[in-house]
Amino acid sequence: MATFRLNINNTAQEVEVAEGTSLLWVLREHLGLTGTKYGCGIAQCGACTIHVDNRPMRACMLQVDNVSDGQKIRTIEGLSVNGTHTVQKAWIEAQAPQCGYCQSGQIMQAVALLEENPNPSTEEIKTYMNGILCRCGTYMRVIKAIELAANTQST
Amino acid sequence: MKNKAQTDPVEGMSRRKFLKSSGGVALFIGASGMLPHLISCKDSNALKKQLQKHPITAWVQITEDGEITIYNPAAEMGQGSMTSLPLVFAEEMDADWSKVKVEFSPQETDIYGSEGWAPGSKLMFTVGSRTTKSYYPVMRKAGAQARYVLLSSAAAHWNTPIEELRTEDSFVIHENSNRKISYGDLVPYLSMPETLPDLSESDFKDQKDFRLVGREIPRTEIPSKVDGSAQFAIDLRLPQMVYGVLERGKLNAATPTLTNEDEILAMEGVLKLVPFDYAIGVVAKTLEEALAAKKSLQIDWSEAQASGFNSQDIYPEYKQIADSRKKGDAIVELGDVGQAMKKAAKVYEVDFKNDYVYHAQMEPLNAVIQVAEDKKSADVWVGSQQGPDTKLGVPDLVGVPPEQVNVHLQYLGGGFGRRSMNDFVNECAILAKEMAPLPVKLIWTREDDVSYGTFRPLSLQRLKACTDAQGNISGFSHCVVGDGGRLVTSGARNDHYDIPNQLVEWRETSHGIRLKHWRSVGHGPNKFAIESMLDEIALDQSIDPVDLRRKLMAKSPRALATLEKAAEISGWGSPVAEGRAKGVAFVEHGSMGTGICEISVDRNTGNIKVHKFWIALDAGVVVQPDNVKAQMEGGIIMGMSSVLKEQITIVDGRVQQSNFHDYNLLRFQDVPESIETAIIPSTEIPEGVGETATPMVAGAIANAFLKLTGKRLRHLPFTPERVLEVLNA
Ligand code: FES
Ligand code: FES
């Protein structure tokens, strides 16, 4: 057991867990930030996507030891107050989610995309989002939502 | 204060009264007049018990500020039940939708069930796309009853004849005296009518007056699914909760012998080892400790029925079974296929094959269960498709009566048939009983979920068809070889093709592999076989595939309308871009629809690219059109995924795949440019839509491929290797 300090959604957090514990379990089971999901544990599904210093990362591949409190972790819970981020609003407008389980990962990846590239082409969207699986098959609407969000941002 | 009746059931009970109408409908209302509840139930004792346990239980509650809570009795797994069922209720109640909140109902079948398989039976079971169809009449009636109570209370309050009143958007209106009162303001005056009429179809709203049903209404639970707050069972955290995992091996029904028990028990955080017939369970303080212990387990596994079974080598044996003179179970027998074949001008015979596929719902199986310290009751938090036993087998395992088990239904991170089975709930119950009163969260890792999956069975379809001298299809025989009964035979019958002589037959096999309903069940493989067969005949006769189906559907106007519409929106018959072709397939699964796709093939890689998909659907009355379109899109994507990529293989009884690196799902880069759905307007009762699109895909792609290349894809999935093999043959 060791104590780890993290900066999550602009809040300093302290957890005591075994060294090598995955950041995904730390977020979900120790800190209760359950919007970030477990889907595969091996960087194949993207359900656990979070931002570390604004870059999309798979929480299941990060060990708590590898993240310092100088790095800013952002989860779906930290994206906005009351789900009002442009991307979240576009998601509602497109009625994108079905079961919803993959959607935090979709949204976190999409936010990172639009921060990097505010006006992506459909092909760029598909490429950037390719790591995030959705078994319900909401891909068409996720693409639409990203396009909606990009349009809103640019007007 | 006004919530007192909710929080104090016993006191509340004494102030409430029950009525029964001729139709066996009990109306329950808070005698305080503040919290009316409406419940349909045959047994008023069950109702009383229910209300004691769940004081805030009913189809609806109204508060004085006009807020309306409607209870959803079905599981929400992305198909939209959290909106569609309450919407139907609100439509009949004439509720202001902006004031409606939706909650899950308790899992009590007698009160909240809809008609089950047997007439007169009740069932809470979100399977087979039955939710909207089976609950449509239930929700209409309950909503109309709620409206009647409001109307009769206003009539009494104003002393006017009830016939002079009308309702609109949460108001009761009396035009003659120019008065109106909101439902919320009416709450203090609510009273029980002397008798509650047994409302039926003629009392319900005319479809042309619908304000909610059939409109574009956003789904109620979507906002919680974009901010991470929607709660799935896997998200639950309870004080003192501990974690359970099981090691189940890769060979179904093998029995384990643990050889390093002491070592495991000495590991950090490990609390208990729980042996199962088919697995070793570990309970630990944290998830990471439980997973570490699971990894360290040293287990000797026995052999089992599936030992020696190699899935990809089994097809020659299946062919022999199909060749054999020994008949199987006849599922459909229409006319005399044998005679038709004898008299035929031409006979066609083709075998189709399909490998195992896995559900891959994105939320791995899990449950949280807490057994009380005295072991006399249990609470269960689970994402379940429910079942004939809404307590999911927990009472027997924990040793308590069903009414002492409280099931708290959570959102499902995908169902697709996997969550209509309770294996994971039962495992958790066994661990929770051991650990009482500590709550146990059981998690299946993705590897567990794949390796100990329950699959859509591998099967072979032998289709034989014949045409008479005029070229009409006169006989059609469909023999399914495989394990699982309805799991392999569903969808093999043709209800809309007018073929005088038909036979569907099932020849059983058994390999000891775990099997389960998988979205659209046998429809996937069987519609693939049927629709491909039709196109092979069309090609041989030089008939356009749509024309061929037009002829066959002559006596099924609804089916035909979907065919015509799909042909229209897809521009069937007009020129297609170089290197592309269109294919068509028809499916009925409750609702019915025709799907058409446009594909191209990379002849170097064997990659099939689906460019566009069009669907025309007849689903009867459509409650939420946009949601139906979402179901079509999702169904097509899942269909494409299974048809182009997904494959579980078994070697010596052991499942060879373990996670998404070797069980491939369709990703963004493979999606079509568009999936367009046309909904045929209808006043017929609503039919399920969740499983109609998926089985269109294989036939439509195979038929487009045939048109494009002249070659036949007859074995699912159409992986690039198989496509190349067919192209180069
Ligand atoms: S859980 Fe991290 S990528 Fe799947
Ligand atoms: S919405 Fe269900 S997995 Fe994506």
Structural domain spans, chain B: 4-213, 233-303+365-443, 311-357+455-727
What's the CATH code of the domain at A8?
Answer: 3.10.20.30
Residues A90 and A68 in one domain: no
Residues A116 and A73 in one domain: no
Give the 3-state secondary structure of residue B266: coil
Phi, psi of B299 (to 5 degrees): -125, 135
State whether the beta carbon of A97 lies less than 6 angstroms from ligand 1. Answer: no
Work out the pLDDT band at B43, boundaries 50, 70, 90.
Answer: low
- B200 pLDDT more than 90: no
CA distance A141 to A126: 12
Domain final position from A50, A78, A106 = A78
**pLDDT, tens only, B169-183:** 999 999 999 999 999
CA distance B701 to B585: 9
What integer best gives the mean pLDDT of chain B?
91
What integer pLDDT is reported at residue B233 of this predicted model?
Answer: 98
**pLDDT, tens only, B277-294:** 999 999 999 999 999 999
What's the CATH code of the domain at A124?
Answer: 1.10.150.120
Q: How far is CA B679 from CA B208, B617, B626, B682, in A?
A: 17, 5, 10, 9
The CA A58 to ligand 1 mean position distance, Å, reads 6
Mean pLDDT score, B708-727? 98
- B104 pLDDT more than 80: yes
Domain final position from A31, A61, A78 = A78
> How many structural domains compose chain A?
2
In this structure, of B20-24, B158-162, B566-570, B598-602, the range with the lowest mean pLDDT score is B20-24
Q: How far is CA B700 from CA A39, B26, B228, B529, B590, in A?
A: 31, 50, 37, 11, 19
Which of residues B199 and B674 earns the better pLDDT score? B674
What is the CATH class of B233-303+365-443? Answer: alpha beta
Residues A7 and A32 in one domain: yes
Cβ-based neighbours of B168, under 8 Å, separated by 6 or more: B94
**pLDDT, tens only, B617-646:** 999 999 999 999 999 999 999 999 999 999
**pLDDT, tens only, B515-557:** 999 999 999 999 999 999 999 999 999 999 999 999 999 999 9
Show the DSSP H helices in B464-553 as ranges. 486-489, 523-540, 545-552
The CA B418 to ligand 1 mean position distance, Å, reads 21
Query: How far does the CA of residue B288 sit from the closest CA of chain A (Å)?
Result: 7
Q: Give me the residue label for tokens 């559900």.
A: B359
- Nearest-CA neighbor of B168 among B212, B232, B203? B212
- B197 pLDDT more than 80: no
If you count them, how many residues does chain A have?
A: 155
Residues A74 and A90 in one domain: no
CA distance B224 to B226: 6
Domain final position from A52, A78, A104 = A78
**pLDDT, tens only, B685-701:** 999 999 999 999 999 99
Q: Any CB–CB contact under 8 A between B510 and chain A?
A: no
Domain B4-213 coded CATH 1.10.3430.10: no
Residues A65 and A101 in one domain: no
Architecture of domain B311-357+455-727: 2-Layer Sandwich (3.30)
Residues A67 and A91 in one domain: no
Residues A68 and A98 in one domain: no
**pLDDT, tens only, B435-451:** 999 999 999 999 999 99
Tokens of B111: 């009160």
Residues A66 and A17 in one domain: yes
Domain, as residue range, for A20: 2-78
Residues A72 and A93 in one domain: no
Mean pLDDT score, A114-121? 97
Query: How far does the CA of residue B410 sit from the closest CA of chain A (Å)?
Result: 11
Could you say which of B228, B635, B669 has the minimum Cβ distance to residue A130? Answer: B669
Residues A72 and A121 in one domain: no
What integer pLDDT is reported at residue B709 of this predicted model?
Answer: 98
Q: What percent of chain B has pLDDT over 90?
A: 83
Mean pLDDT score, B215-219? 96
What integer pLDDT is reported at residue B49 of this predicted model?
Answer: 55
What integer pLDDT is reported at residue B58 of this predicted model?
Answer: 65
Residues A10 and A38 in one domain: yes
Could you say which of A100, A132, A139 has the minimum Cβ distance to residue B411? Answer: A100
What's this model's pTM, rounded to 2 decimal places?
0.94
Mutant choice from B225, B441, B691 vs A, greatest count of A C-beta within 10 A: B225
Please check whether residue B70 is in contact with residue B59, taking contact to mean a CB–CB distance below 8 angstroms: yes
